[in-house]
């Protein structure tokens, strides 16, 4: 299983290689065309690279997001880490734990796990971090799981004090004003 995951991570990091054949122009071809005789072309294989997202490359990311979606509308519960109710970090911890990644039960501590990723590089499966209730707060106080990225629109699932497990978008002013960063923890699947 680890070898499959390592292979998937390597494919994401280096791109997927696909072979193609492309006609090439040779000196014989140029000479033949210049003499108005039939031209002969030669097929030469080339290699191209196609970069795919984590979501497309690692099936477990899709499974992780699917698992999180199964818990939509479960109520918010301060300190909660189960289906009886979740706080934000309890929810992300619960979801990742199902797939072998142990996260701390603190949004601030989750902000130190994995690697920091620029917002423009965010992918489904990444953690998204926010300041607490006040946009002037200096520390991380909320966390969610990115489920979809379309252009610059980031959709995430989280457990919010006013609605429990639900979807929201980063472009909503409440979250935009409190945005702190993105952390990639999916790569920790290979170390378990």
Q: Which residues are catalytic?
A: 88, 142, 158
DSSP characters over 39-80: ---EEEEEEEEE---HHHH-HHHHHHHHHHHTTTTPPB-TT-
CB atoms within 10 A of CB 114: 18
Residue identified by tokens 């917002």 is: 119
Q: Do residues 4 and 188 lie in contact, with contact meaning Cβ atoms separated by under 8 Å?
A: no
Q: Do residues 116 and 130 lie in contact, with contact meaning Cβ atoms separated by under 8 Å?
A: no
Q: Establish how many alpha carbons lie within 13 A of residue 150's alpha carbon, considering only the half-sphere containing its beta carbon.
A: 4
Q: How far apart are CA 9 and CA 1, in angstroms?
A: 12
| Torsion of the alpha carbons at 15, 154, 140 and 133, rounded to the nearest 10 | 180
CB atoms within 10 A of CB 40: 9
């Amino acid at each position: 299983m680890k070898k499959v995951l390592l292979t998937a991570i390597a494919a994401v990091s280096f791109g997927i290689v696909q072979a193609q054949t492309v006609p090439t122009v040779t000196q014989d071809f140029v000479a033949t065309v210049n003499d108005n005789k039939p031209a002969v072309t030669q097929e030469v294989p080339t290699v191209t690279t196609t970069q795919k997202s984590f979501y497309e490359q690692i099936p477990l990311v899709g499974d992780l997001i699917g698992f999180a979606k199964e818990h939509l509308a479960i109520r918010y519960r301060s300190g909660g880490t189960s289906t009886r109710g979740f706080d934000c970090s309890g929810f992300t911890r619960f979801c990742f734990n199902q797939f072998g990644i142990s996260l701390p039960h603190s949004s601030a501590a989750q902000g130190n796990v994995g690697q920091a990723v620029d917002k423009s590089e965010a992918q489904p499966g990444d953690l998204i971090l926010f300041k607490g209730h006040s946009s002037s707060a200096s520390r991380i106080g909320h966390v969610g799981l990115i489920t979809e990225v379309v252009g610059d629109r980031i959709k995430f699932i989280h457990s919010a004090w006013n609605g429990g497990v639900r979807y929201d978008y980063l472009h909503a002013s409440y979250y935009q004003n409190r945005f702190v960063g993105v952390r990639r923890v999916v790569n920790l699947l290979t170390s378990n």
